[in-house]
Amino acid sequence: MAQDDSAVSDRELVDRARAGDGAAFTELVRRYGPRVRRLARQLVRGHADADDVAQEAFVRAHQALPRFDGRSEFFTWIYRIAVNLSLNRARSLAVRRHVDVDDPGVEGVLAERPAGPGDPGSALDRQRVARALLDEVDALPEGLRATLLLVCVDGVPQEDAAAILGCSAGTVAWRVHEARKRLREKLRGRGLEEAVDELGGDRAKKGGAR
């Protein structure tokens, strides 16, 4: 009977994968593939390219397993690879690509807001706010944008985001604060500055879903 790896720790799966157990690495891909793909889509803004990036991230991780020393969690390691690949791909594309407002990411956070009772224009209004916020997020400098998406949209704890981005937790906190401040300033002219509050700036400081 095949072994059920769903309850096995990441650390054990990595050890087994390093020893040549293909099923163990497949389980790691199952656990983190969707989140890595979503992150790549947020950073690259082009589904075909983003899916290629996500696949390449796992290919590189598999190739580098013999050099993985275990000092970081597999989660932060694969995210670091994905972020670096995504930012490199985004630079090579030069121009951000259009995505629909119901795709995962910033717009998905806003889409979760409840519609106002008896307000038939609520859904359309949420789309308008999502588009405005998404446009301004895409215009942020690369470091601010990546940090904001990791912490405020994907819910990565700031300590983990620091490991992923190769900076201090203090730098992550500053980037989140600065990104939110810039977004608020840009959206104020549109009367939409309250949309920044939907990003939940402090919800991932000390914890977050994995």
Fold topology of 118-199: Arc Repressor Mutant, subunit A (1.10.10)
- CA-based torsion, 104, 136, 47, 166: positive or negative: negative
Give the model confidence (pLDDT) of 79-121 as tens digits.
999 999 999 988 887 644 444 444 455 555 554 444 444 444 5
Q: What does the pLDDT look like over 112-169, one tens digit per residue? A: 444 444 444 566 677 777 788 888 888 899 999 999 999 988 889 999 999 999 999 9
State pTM to two decimals: 0.78
How far from 139 is each of 5, 83, 198, 203, CA to CA, in Å?
A: 42, 17, 18, 23
CB 47 within 8 A of CB 162: no
The answer to whether 44 touches 50, Cβ cutoff 8 Å, is: yes
Q: Answer whether 10-93 and 118-199 agree in fold.
A: no
The reported pLDDT for the residue numbered 3 is 61
Short-list 147, 150, 10, 149, CA closest to 70: 10
Where are the domains positioned within the chain? 10-93, 118-199
Note whether 131 and 107 are within 8 A (CB). yes
CATH architecture of 10-93: Orthogonal Bundle (1.10)
